[in-house]
Amino acid sequence: MCDLNEDNIKTLGKLCRIEIADEEVPGLVRDLKRVLEYVSQLGQADVSGLSPYSHMEEHGIGSLRNDEVGPCLSREAFLANAPDQVGGMIRVPIVIKQ
């Protein structure tokens, strides 16, 4: 089931925006493969007739509040942690190029 390898781990990294240096590849592949091989035992569990999300409603997961405007952070509070800002807004590099 597990086809993670040294060739495709950087692609996986791209999906979650984590760059993997060449020297990190063998160790990461070894560790992740070991965990993936271990978790593949779940394939042996008899789960016939079970619905994967049947318990969630009971625990409030997935319950939504009403879509109403409520109090939220002030601009000042929100920007207090921004790594870079200008004129009351978060500054980022130019995204749309001419």
Partner 1 sequence: MYKLTARQLNKHFLEGSLSAEAIVSYFLKRIEAFDPQVGSFLSLYKERALEKAGRLDQKRALGKPLGRLAGVPISIKDNIHVKGEITTCASKFLANYRAVFDATAVRLLEQEDAIILGKTNLDEFAMGSSTENSGLQKTFNPWNLSCVPGGSSGGSTAAVAARLSPISLGTDTGGSVRQPAAFCGIAGFKPTYGRVSRYGLVAYGSSLDQIGPIATSTEDIAMVMEVLGGHDPHDATTINAHPDEYLSILDSPIKGKVIGVPWKFLEDLPHEAKTLFVESLEVMKGLGCSIVNVDLNSLKYSVATYYIIATAEASTNLARFDGIRYGVRSSKAETLEQIYDYSRTEGFGREVKKRILLGTYVLSAGYQDAYYKQAAKVRVKIIDEFNVAFGHCDIIATPVSPFAAFQQGAIQDPLEMYLQDIYTIGVNLAYLPAISVPCGFNKEQKPFGLQFIGARREDVLVCRMAHAYEKATPFATEIPSIFNREA
Binding residues for partner 1, rule: CB under 8 A, are 1, 4, 9, 12-13, 15-19, 28, 31-32, 34-36, 38-39, 41-43, 45-47, 50-56, 59-61, 63-65, 73, 77-78, 80-84, 90, 92-93, 95
Shortest distance in whole angstroms from residue 65 CB to partner 1: 6
Shortest distance in whole angstroms from residue 76 CB to partner 1: 10
Shortest distance in whole angstroms from residue 46 CB to partner 1: 8
Shortest distance in whole angstroms from residue 9 CB to partner 1: 7
Report the residue number, 63 or 98, with the smaller CB distance to partner 1: 63
Q: Measured between alpha carbons, how far is 47 from 39 in angstroms, rounded to an integer?
A: 15
CA pseudo-torsion sign 83, 91, 20, 18: positive
The vertex-97 CA angle with 94 and 14, nearest 5°, equals: 70
Q: Measured between alpha carbons, how far is 87 from 76 in angstroms, rounded to an integer?
A: 11
The alpha-carbon radius of gyration of the chain (Å, integer) is: 22
